[in-house]
Structures are given as structure tokens and as C-alpha cells.
Chains A and B, each alone.
Chain A
Amino acid sequence: MKLYLKFLSIHLRSAMTYRSSFFLSCLGQVLITTNVFLSVVFLMDRFQSIGGYTLPQLSLCYAVILAGTSLAECFARGLDAFGRILSQAQFDRIMLRPRPLLFQVLCQDMKPTMFARVLQAAVMLIWALGAGAVRWTPAKALTLALMILCGAGVFFGVFLINACVTFFTLEHIEALNIFMDGPREYGKYPFGVYGKPVLLILTFLVPLALVQHWPLQFLFDRGPAWYGLLPLAALLFLIPCGLLWRLGVRHYRSTGS
């Protein structure tokens, strides 16, 4: 852990070497996601409610997804850049060091500017709560925390799968971004509004609905309390991801001389 913080500090410092770029990139992150959210606001301006949800409720929903993706992206950036790590043979160097491989890959690259988005998510969350999205109980607060943390976990798994595929193809597959950028874009609405097939896929295949749609039902008093614990079940998703990673490492063949 100490080592991880050291790496974080190195990445933070290298990011801040180029000062204006650091701030612009923070600003850019926030602008993009603000844009997405504004589209919801404008729609709501006309229709008052979408799929039976009010604006503060949707804002809560988006804040949860945004916080989850941004946390995952901040810490699992190394997996996103894994194609580069493989093709530039940095993975050879990683294998030459006496630490767990996955841990080192995560240390290779981090994206501190993503914290800007986490901050933005926090602001949206506070606003949504202030606007009365939810009637609070301690159990609901716990569910909310689980949604964000387990959400980050599921996105981490998606990143991991993405990286594992790279072991076999040796290049980043853009198509897989559907599972990364897609949920952030579409996560502004609870997945239920997209219809049953989508909801089923996102419940059982890539369990994003378990950290968003189902626990939201509990938060908004539309579902039973055990829905609030579903985010934990989503973490099971990480098991096949981990197995795939092992398979990938065994399959690894170095490149170049």
C-alpha cells in the first residue's frame, strides 16, 4: 500500500510537471460529464419526469455511476493503457520485479485528473440529497456507499477483461469501450428505462444494474430492502475477471529483442 501511494505521488508529480495541461485536463473531464447531465436537465425541463423518476433522483443515479467509473478509471488506468504496456514490452520489466503482476500494472499509470470527476459526482450527490431525492435511513446510506464502491469494482472488472483480451490480440479493442464509456453515458438513467433485455444483460452478464437500477429501487422506496445489498453480489463478477487475467498471463509471449 505504501508502495502504491509512492507511485501515486510520482504520477501526480509528473502530471503536474505540465501545469496548464493538468488543469485543462481536469476542466475537460468535468465539462464532458456536465454536458451529459445537462442533457438530462433539459429533457426534464420539458417532461417533468422520465420513466417515473424526478430530476433529483436521476441526478443521484448519475452521480453514483459517475463516481464509480471515475474511481475505477483513476486507479485502473494502467489496465486501460495495457495495450501500450504490452506492445512497448513494459510487461517484461514488470515480470522482472518481485511484486504481484496486477498490482504493478495498476501502478504503471494512474489518472489523478479523474479526481475532478469524483468531486463533481460528490457535488451532484449533495445537491440531489438536498433536493429530496430520498427519504433517509441509515440502511439507505449504507446502500449508497455500496453502490459507489461496488460500482467502481464492476468497472474495474470491465477494465480487467479489456486488458486480458489484449494479451491475445496485442492491441486495444475499441469495441470494448462500449462497456466502459457506454454505461457512463447511459447510466444517467436507471437501466430499467432501456427495457427488459438490456436490464437482463446488465443484471446477469455485466452486473452494472446490480449497482444501479436495483438498489435505486430500494432507495426510492419502490423495492424490497434486500435490493440494497445487491451491489455486493455484483462483486462476484470479479472472480471470472481474475481467472481470465491468470489465463492471459500464462499466454503471454514477449515481443522484440
Chain B
Amino acid sequence: MIEMQGICKTYRVRRREAGLGNAFKSLLSREYTEIPALRDMTFTVPDGQILGYIGPNGAGKSTTIKILSGILRPDSGACTVDGLVPWENRKAHVARLGVVFGQRSQLWWDVPVMESFDLLRDIYRVPAPVYRENLNRLTALLDLGDLLKTPARMLSLGQRMRCEIAAALLHGPKVLFLDEPTIGLDAVSKLKVREFILEQNRLCGTTVLLTTHDMQDIDALCSRVLLIGKGRLLLDGDTAQIRAMAGEDLSTEEAVADLYRCFGI
């Protein structure tokens, strides 16, 4: 169960006009702009749900994920994930959490994927039988077989993403955050990733929070969708509702742009 109650987060960004003169000026006096990233964000996610989290760039999606995973502490508001406050019980919290950032890797670059996995086993202190079972299941479902012997830097993006997802699930987390997991993938890899997420959710009851810009991801996976813009929650509904609002086929960019426009974001 994920609960967020009135979470606010503001970034202070140092401002500076372009140019050398202004660069010098900023050495002496600094101007800050306050950028509100989240304003009064409130929602709950029950166990075993696949939740889609959508909104334009800069809406606050990543900030939410970072707060929920304990990387950032919010300015105000309360938040628990399975009864733990992420930024206060960091170690206990992250031991039960899997996170995949589509744009960043958690595998060690120069060593075969299998060694990264073994290292993760030690970091998370996964008992040997549990590890073996998880590894076998993930290898079969994600079709990793030969990839395990390859150094991460030699993998294609699609192959790497499958390994990343496996890496995030080796310790059998109850909650999985996926931050743009299908970004840059080809059609076949996307389908494989989606199919796997559904399978994982069905078999293990894993709660999944998914951010994406790809409405087909949402369509294929999510039973519920949160739409956010400018740090506020704008819509909390199921996929059918979103589809009705967008008016037509959700998979077109125009429909999504229309959707954002009608919320003024």
C-alpha cells in the first residue's frame, strides 16, 4: 500500500543570465527562483495494482518517484510505503523496493551481467534458494539465457532493459517503480517488456507504478491512471475514462496532446 498525503516539494534553482559578466555577478550575489515541483499531491495505491502515472515533461513524475523511493525528502506532507516512511527508514524501505530508470543503468558496465546479478544478491542479502528461484524465473520469462554471460556494455538497448528489469526484481520486491521502461525500445522489445510486467504482477502480486509517455504502455498495462500537470493531480481514473476524454484512439500523439491541452498543461 502506497500512501501520499499532501506532499509538497519545491526546488530552489540558481538563476543567472547568459554571458561572462553575469557569470561573475552570480559569484557575488545569487538569485534563486523557486520552482514548485509538487503541490499537495495526495493519492493511495492498493497492493497489486498497476498504476500508470502520466503527464508532460516537468510535471513532477520523477520527483514523485524519487520521494516515494526515499531519494528526496519532501518539504511537507506525509508518505508511507507499506507502513514505512521512505526517507526515514531508507534501508528497510529500499530492501523491499525495485526501481528501474529507463535512462540509467544499474548494471556494472564492464563485467558480464551475471556478475552484476551476483553482486546485487550480496548487496540485498538475498538467501541462496530464493535467489536461485527468482533468477530462474526471470531468466525464463525475460528470455535472458545467453545475455547473462555478456558484459553490459555490449548489450543492445532492448536486451539491456530486460536485464535491468530482472536486476530490479532479483530480491523479490513487493513494489516496483518503472520510470519510462520502454523508452527507445523497438516494437518487439516493448511487447516483451509489457508482457513481462503483466506476468510479474499476476504471478507475484507486485504493485507497479509506471511512468511513461507511451499511451500504448498505459493501454496495455494499467488498470488505473493518474494524470498530473504542474505538480498537481488532475485526474484519477481508469483507462476507459482517459480514453473517453481523449475522444479517439489514445495511441496517437494528437490525442494525448489534446488531453494535456484540455487540462491546460
Contact = CB atoms under 8 A, between A and B. Distances in A.
B66 interface: yes
Interface residues of B, number: 33
B62 A98 contact: no
B104 A93 contact: yes
Nearest to B109: A14
Interface in A1-28: 2-3, 6-7, 10, 13-14, 17
21 contacts: A2-B122, A6-B119, A6-B122, A10-B111, A10-B119, A14-B109, A14-B110, A93-B104, A95-B69, A95-B70, A96-B97, A97-B123, A98-B92, A98-B94, A99-B91, A99-B123, A254-B66, A254-B72, A256-B62, A257-B57, A257-B103
A99 B119 CA distance: 13
A95 B115 contact: no
B122 A89 contact: no
B104 A98 contact: no
Interface of B: 11, 57, 61-62, 66, 69-73, 90-92, 94-95, 97, 99, 101, 103-104, 106, 108-111, 115, 118-119, 122-125, 179
Contacts of B97: 96
A92 interface: yes
Contacts of A3: 119, 122-123
Contact of A93 (B72, B106, B109, B110): B106
A250 B72 CA distance: 9
Given A13-B110, A254-B66, 19 more contacts: A6-B118, A6-B122, A92-B66, A93-B101, A95-B71, A95-B94, A96-B71, A96-B97, A97-B94, A97-B123, A98-B90, A98-B92, A98-B94, A98-B124, A98-B125, A253-B72, A254-B72, A257-B57, A257-B61
Across the A-B interface, give the 9 residue pairs with the lowest CB-CB distance, nearest first.
A98-B95, A14-B110, A257-B62, A98-B91, A95-B71, A3-B122, A98-B94, A96-B94, A92-B71
Contacts of B99: 96
Contact of A95 (B90, B109, B125): B90
Contacts of A93: 101, 104, 106
A169 to B, nearest CB: 11
Contacts of B125: 98
A92 B103 CA distance: 13
Interface residues of A, number: 21
Contacts of A253: 11, 72
Interface of A: 2-3, 6-7, 10, 13-14, 17, 89, 92-93, 95-99, 250, 253-254, 256-257
A120 to B, nearest CB: 27
B70 A10 contact: no
B112 to A, nearest CB: 10
Nearest to B57: A257
A199 to B, nearest CB: 33
Contacts of B11: 253
Nearest to B118: A6
Contacts of B66: 92, 254
A183 to B, nearest CB: 29
A253 B119 CA distance: 27
A250 B70 CA distance: 12
A17 to B, nearest CB: 6
A10 B114 CA distance: 12
Nearest to A93: B106
